[in-house]
Structure 1
Amino acid sequence: MPDVGPTAVLPRRPLTVGELLDSAVLLLRGQARLLVPLGVLLALGEQVLLHPLRLLAGARPPEWLPADDRFGAYWLLLAVGAGTEASIIALLGNPAARGAGAALLGRRAGLRELLRGARWGATLLVAAAVGLTVFLAGLAGPAWFVAYGLLGAAVPALVVDRVPAYRVPGRALRLAVRGGLRAAAIRLLGYLGWWLIRLGIGLGGYHGLGLLGLFDVSAWALPVATVCWVGVNAAAYPALACLDAVLHLETRMRTEGLDIRLSRAPADTPEAVLLAVPR
């Protein structure tokens, strides 16, 4: 089975950090017609979920900074927000990982393939567990970074490696810590980069509309801010899910020889068997 080449979404070789980020963007472009609409729905649901907590914390749009005397409520808001983000990225990681697996084999997965037979029930459970873990870690402050960095491979391990759900946490942790926590560090780097992009576009879009003077933005602060944040998150969350997907497969090539296994596999080997972890 020949290599799909250096211009592929995911070449069959270990990649640099820059190449991983490029591969994630290419994967997002190829699967945007599914991932972005899903991202819009999930990002909008997140805004609805967080709204009561923002009222409790006295946080006002578009920055959502807290009132001076409500730091406890704001801390809870931050932890819940971290948990919902992690859950959304994990859910989007299902089609993203399946698309990355197809790209590694030199083809582009269609919409039906990404949605059917994708272990959605188990994915929902894993995504909920990931979100709960990040939420609890968020209550402890800096522990959020540890939890987020270590759990990126959870859903890819479920849908690509085809491991049983009860083995997903251990599999994700082992992949994250290999090579001196390389995968965990790259996942955090990707999150930081997209956080800065989200911050710039979200706040820039809101205040830019105010500068245009088309209408009184302050009178429509909540809906305008919601649209701005949903719009930027609808791109950022799928992009982070795509980074998880390509990082997962690249880690397997780097540490488990997945690329060598693919090159030596018989031509008639089913794709699911090619990518699954041998038991």
Structure 2
Amino acid sequence: MLDAGPTAVLPRRPLTVGELLDSAVLLLRGQAHVLVPVALVLTVAEQLLLHPLRQVASTGPPAWLVEFERFGVYWVLLAVGAATEAAIILLLGNPAARAAGAALLGRAAGARELLRPAGARWGATGLLAVLTGLLMGGLALLGPAWIVGFALLGAVAPALVVDRVHPLRAPLRATALAVRGGGRAGWIRLLGYLVWWIVRLGLGIGVHVGLNSLDLVDPAWAWWLSMAVWAGVNAVAYPALACLDAVLHLETRMRTEGLDIRLSRARAGTPETVLLAVMR
């Protein structure tokens, strides 16, 4: 299982920041037929959940901004959005991490493999998604604390399904990896979020404004159109962030734990789960 060179989804060596972003995009491109449809279901549910809260906060499409006197309600809306966002990215991180692990071993994981329940630890993933969502929602209420939480918890799903740690250890494992090397993984995750936030904002607002400028938006359907646009944009952005978490996790292990060396010395026929699991 040799490194396929610069076109490999995840070469077996430490990567630069640019290479990590490229690897995440390559992984997403290869698994879009699995990740994007699943993400679309989740983002539609997210938009439906946020819809009544937006009405209470008196926000309006496409940017969902609010007047100052309603800012308290709007802050709660933002916290709920942060919670659902974190939970969805973690759920998508389960198949994304397993796909990244397969790519590191020189093969492409199929849709059936990524979606089957056997050995995927979906129950623990769902529980951690709920707990992480609640934590991120609470941190979002505190403002800047959200930044710290987002930086530290990117590797929860990969730690669970690739490293095969106990579910209660997964957040601790994610935090430990995020702070290594001066917090390199945490900073890169924040950078990835910023990049995709700009893309999401541009598309989410731009498509609505463009259609409205052509007089193609019926005011009665403006809310639903904007919700559909945001669901579509997030259906790509959330899997992209999950893929970044997956490749960043494995790269951090190669950089700090010698995972690449361990794989090169592994005996032929060793099961993949054993190859990638954290050595105890």
Bucket of the pairwise TM-score, normalised by the shorter protein: over 0.9
How far apart, in 2, do the equivalents of 1:173 and 1:68 lie?
36
How far apart, in 2, do the equivalents of 1:126 and 1:254 lie?
26
CA contact (8 A) 1:90 1:155 kept: yes
How far apart, in 1, do the equivalents of 2:277 and 2:177 lie?
15
1:51 aligns with 2:60: no
How far apart, in 2, do the equivalents of 1:211 and 1:103 lie?
44
Candidates 136, 141, 150, aligned match of 1:148: 150
CA contact (8 A) 1:4 1:12 kept: no
**Could you tell me the percent identity over the aligned residues?**
69
CA contact (8 A) 1:101 1:275 kept: yes
Candidates 125, 132, 135, aligned match of 1:133: 135
Match of 2:258 in 1: 257
How far apart, in 2, do the equivalents of 1:236 and 1:276 lie?
28
Match of 1:234 in 2: 235
- How far 1:108 sits from its partner (Å)? 0.2
Q: Any idea what SS the aligned residue of 2:69 has?
A: coil
Cα RMSD for the two superposed structures:
1.0
- How far 1:61 sits from its partner (Å)? 1.0
How far apart, in 2, do the equivalents of 1:166 and 1:225 lie?
38
Match runs of 1:78-117 below 5 Å: 78-116=78-116, 117=118
Match of 1:187 in 2: 189
CA contact (8 A) 2:2 2:106 kept: no
- How far 1:6 sits from its partner (Å)? 2.7
How far apart, in 2, do the equivalents of 1:19 and 1:216 lie?
40
CA contact (8 A) 2:254 2:260 kept: yes
Question: Stretches of 4+ moved more than 6 A in 1?
Answer: none
How far apart, in 2, do the equivalents of 1:212 and 1:228 lie?
16
Match runs of 1:207-226 below 5 Å: 207-213=209-215, 215-226=216-227
Match of 1:203 in 2: 205
Unaligned ranges ≥5, structure 1? none
How far apart, in 1, do the equivalents of 2:69 and 2:2 lie?
63
1:98-121 CA distances to partner (integer Å, 9 max, x unpaired)? 000000001000111112221000
CA contact (8 A) 1:63 1:203 kept: yes
Amino acid at match of 1:82: A
CA contact (8 A) 1:13 1:253 kept: yes
1:2 aligns with 2:22: no
- How far 1:246 sits from its partner (Å)? 0.3
1:77 aligns with 2:77: yes
Query: What TM-score comes out, normalization by structure 1 length?
Result: 0.97
Match of 2:40 in 1: 40
- How far 1:219 sits from its partner (Å)? 3.1
Match of 1:163 in 2: 165
- How far 1:67 sits from its partner (Å)? 3.0
